[in-house]
């Protein structure tokens, strides 16, 4: 790694920025671990757990590099801490790859996970001169793997959840390119300017990345298509406007079901003396999700109350109102007027 002579302003700036990376990564990691611990399942495939582990690896990486760059500049300790830094980050990436490959539909055969483990072994075994090449290799693999996951995630989300995924992408790209420029290879090639800019970009990227991760769903939520059962659009008076069945259930009359749902909602509003409608109701093995507009209520019957589904339900409610608001106000029971709604449902669900 680069050596910073004592007493120079560049040294102080670099130390300040690297310490900022450690502090922000540790803080965001702790927040995400806490949010993950508050969930019921504590699944290791939760995106908050995966990102928290990645950020913890960043803590080890930058903390070890600080020791190598500023305190232990003589061998063999300089190489020892440099290798600790690389190993910590790559191990964290490997943990993320493991969770990622359990979910994405691409049949990767855990190639990212295995490659990550192989790179850790290379860091330990190979001499110091090879570390830059190993860093470039794992950097390219990380870029491909993370973008593959984020592309999959953004295609399967909507609303606020999709916005959080986009925030993660921005943060990741800022942090990724910041990490590249804040490297020994960049320092040797371009000098202190790009190096310090890279450290600053890394700090900013981590903050944006962490904020996006905080509002992101669990990785399990990306199987939302397996959770949806039925969708109802119900006029304020309880009349069924449109119904869509994602999977075959019972042979109950759809009109009577819609009237029953509207009646239950009105009853709870009366009991609670509230003007707002229901949001989520659990009934046996099903979750009934609600979204409200001025003229109708959208109701999604699902097997799990995923945030992704709540976002999609709000999304389709807004678009359904734009398309059919005038028809719903003058609705007299003819469902044929909503035949084009099928295309809307298919575009969102």
Pair 82, 150 in one domain? yes
Tell me, yes or no, whether 17 lies in a domain.
yes
Q: Look up the CATH number of the domain holding residue 84.
A: 1.20.1070
Quick check: pTM over 0.75? no
Per-residue pLDDT of the chain (349 residues; tens, 9 = 90+): 555 555 567 777 888 888 888 888 888 888 878 877 776 666 666 667 777 888 888 898 889 988 888 888 888 888 999 899 889 888 888 887 887 787 777 778 889 999 999 999 999 999 988 888 888 898 889 888 888 887 887 777 766 667 777 888 888 888 888 888 877 777 777 877 888 888 888 888 888 877 776 666 655 576 778 889 999 998 877 888 888 888 876 666 677 777 777 777 777 666 666 666 667 788 778 888 998 888 888 999 998 888 788 888 988 999 999 888 888 887 776 777 787 888 888 888 8
Tell me, yes or no, whether 1 lies in a domain.
no
Tell me, yes or no, whether 3 lies in a domain.
no
Pair 21, 146 in one domain? yes
Pair 47, 167 in one domain? yes
What is d(CA 125, CA 123) in angstroms, rounded to the nearest whole number? Answer: 6
Q: Look up the CATH number of the domain holding residue 321.
A: 3.30.450.70
Tell me, yes or no, whether 102 lies in a domain.
yes
Tokens of 113: 């996970």
Pair 131, 260 in one domain? no
DSSP conformation class of 267: H
Pair 26, 169 in one domain? yes
Secondary structure of residue 294 in the 3-state scheme: coil
Tell me, yes or no, whether 186 lies in a domain.
yes
Domain residue limits at 253? 227-348
Pair 158, 25 in one domain? yes
Q: What is Dmax (Cα atoms) for the chain?
A: 84
Query: In 126-242, which residue ranges form alpha helices assigned H by DSSP?
Result: 131-155, 159-181, 184-190, 192-214
Rounded to an integer, what is the distance from CA 221 to the centroid of its chain? 10
What is d(CA 251, CA 248) in angstroms, rounded to the nearest whole number? Answer: 9
Tell me, yes or no, whether 291 lies in a domain.
yes
Q: How many domains does the chain have?
A: 2
């Amino acid at each position: 790694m680069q050596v910073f002579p004592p007493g120079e302003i560049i040294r102080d700036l670099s130390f300040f920025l690297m310490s900022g990376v450690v502090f922000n990564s540790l803080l965001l990691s702790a927040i995400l671990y806490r949010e993950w611990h508050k969930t019921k399942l504590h699944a290791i495939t939760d995106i908050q757990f995966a990102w928290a582990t990645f950020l913890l690896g960043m803590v080890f990486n930058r903390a070890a590099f600080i020791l190598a760059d500023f305190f232990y500049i003589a061998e063999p300790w300089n190489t020892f801490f440099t290798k600790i830094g690389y190993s910590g980050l790559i191990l964290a990436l490997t943990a993320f790859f493991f969770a990622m490959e359990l979910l994405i539909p691409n049949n990767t055969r855990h190639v990212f996970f295995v490659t990550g483990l192989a790179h850790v072994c290379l860091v330990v075994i190979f001499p110091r001169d090879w570390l830059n090449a190993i860093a470039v290799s794992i950097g390219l693999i990380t870029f491909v793997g993370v973008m593959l996951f984020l592309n999959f995630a953004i295609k399967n989300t909507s609303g606020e959840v999709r916005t959080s995924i986009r925030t993660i992408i921005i943060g990741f790209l800022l942090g990724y390119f910041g990490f590249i420029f804040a490297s020994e290879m960049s320092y040797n090639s371009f000098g202190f300017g790009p190096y310090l800019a890279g450290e600053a970009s890394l700090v900013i990227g981590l903050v944006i990345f962490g904020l996006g991760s905080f509002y992101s769903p669990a990785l399990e939520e990306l199987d939302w298509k397996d959770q949806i059962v039925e969708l109802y659009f119900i006029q304020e008076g309880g009349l069924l406007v449109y119904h869509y069945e994602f999977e075959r259930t019972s042979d109950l009359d759809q009109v009577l079901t819609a009237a029953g749902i509207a009646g239950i909602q009105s009853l709870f509003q009366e009991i609670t003396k509230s003007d707002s409608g229901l949001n989520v109701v659990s009934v046996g093995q099903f979750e009934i999700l609600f979204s409200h507009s001025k003229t109708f209520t959208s109701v999604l019957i699902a097997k799990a109350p995923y945030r992704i589904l709540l976002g999609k339900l709000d999304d389709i409610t807004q678009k359904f109102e734009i398309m059919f608001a005038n028809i719903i106000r003058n609705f007299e029971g003819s469902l044929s007027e909503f035949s084009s709604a099928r295309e809307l449902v298919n575009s969102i669900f």
